Amino acid sequence: MSNEELVGQHDAHSLSECAATCQKDCGFFGYNPTLKKCRTHKKAFTSGMSDENGWRYYFPESPPSDCKDLRDNGYDKSDVYDIYPYGIKSIPVKVHCNIDIMGGGWTAIQKRFNGSVSFDRNWTDYKNGFGKPEQEVWIGNDVIDQLTKENTSSLYVTITLQNGTTLYEMYDGFSVSNEAGEYQLFLAGPASGTLGDSMRSHDLSGMSFSTPDRDNDKAGYNCAFDSNKRGGWWFNACHDAFLNGQWSPARWSYPWSPTVQYGTSVKGTTMMIRRN
């Protein structure tokens, strides 16, 4: 790298802080999250960029909006990263990115593996998200809406059984509407995998989200409030697929029927999305 191309280098605690320094005479910027260092450059260059360990480069208006962006920018390790679905000047969202499965670039929107986080939550909790991406998490319906609003995302679901076997189902089309639309679920395109298409077999596509304090299903009672369910989901009347049920095995029925009938069989679940 020539000195003429480098405008400045300084400490920066976040990518957004680094990006804010890329103003006049700045063609693009580099950020190293390990060193917490920022570089601003007058013009783009290619020589040596891929050889610098830990440095990633961005144009001012193109921060990583999701895990696919991170993968495309050269990140090759499944881990927790900051993404900017609302733009570079917004607060980053911490997510777990899977870079290994089916070409990588998957953003985890749900993850469970030990029941340490209760999914018996109200509408506001599901709206804003809860848990931690490195542990158990629901990323938040507002973020899911933002990530899928272009209707160009796939959904990848996994259930790991107590015997260690991991089953999956991938939907080619997945999106969720905004809060005004009650986070309505849309599934399109073919589904494939080893779990079976349990979300569409019970007509969950088109259903609004329900929580124990917000009944949007088609049953004669609140499916999300039922003692054998107690969690937010897209219910019809009520479900053949429900990954947010009570972790207590005796109370979690039909996580993914008919393939997985009881919570006693479940060791862990994930839901991940990726732009097509």
Q: DSSP string spanning 113-138?
A: SSS-S-----HHHHHH-EE-TTSSEE
Q: Please state, in angstroms and rounded to a whole number, the distance separating the CA atoms of residues 256 and 197.
A: 9
Q: What is the average pLDDT score of the chain?
A: 88
pLDDT of res. 46 = 47
Digit-coded pLDDT (tens) for 57-115: 877 667 889 999 989 877 889 999 999 998 877 788 999 999 999 999 999 999 999 99
| Phi, psi angles (nearest 5°) of residue 41 | -130, 150
Indicate the fold that domain 1-60 takes in CATH: Hepatocyte Growth Factor (3.50.4)
> For the chain, where do the domains classified as CATH 3.90.215.10 start and end?
63-275
Strand partners, 58: 29
Q: Please state, in angstroms and rounded to a whole number, the distance separating the CA atoms of residues 258 and 253.
A: 11
CATH hierarchy code of domain 63-275: 3.90.215.10
Q: Please state, in angstroms and rounded to a whole number, the distance separating the CA atoms of residues 222 and 71.
A: 40
Q: Please state, in angstroms and rounded to a whole number, the distance separating the CA atoms of residues 60 and 55.
A: 16
Helix (H, G, I), strand (E, B) or coil at 7: strand
Which range among 40-49, 86-95, 119-128, 129-138 shows the weakest confidence by mean pLDDT? 40-49
pLDDT of res. 51 = 53
Q: Please state, in angstroms and rounded to a whole number, the distance separating the CA atoms of residues 237 and 204.
A: 9
Structure tokens at 40: 């601003």
> For the chain, where do the domains classified as CATH 3.50.4.10 start and end?
1-60
User: Please, what sign has the CA dihedral across residues 84, 75, 68, 128?
Assistant: negative
Q: Please state, in angstroms and rounded to a whole number, the distance separating the CA atoms of residues 163 and 168.
A: 15
Which of 43-47, 146-150, 167-171 has the highest average model confidence (pLDDT)? Answer: 167-171
pLDDT of res. 152 = 87
**Which pLDDT band, with edges at 50, 70 and 90, does 228 fall under?**
low
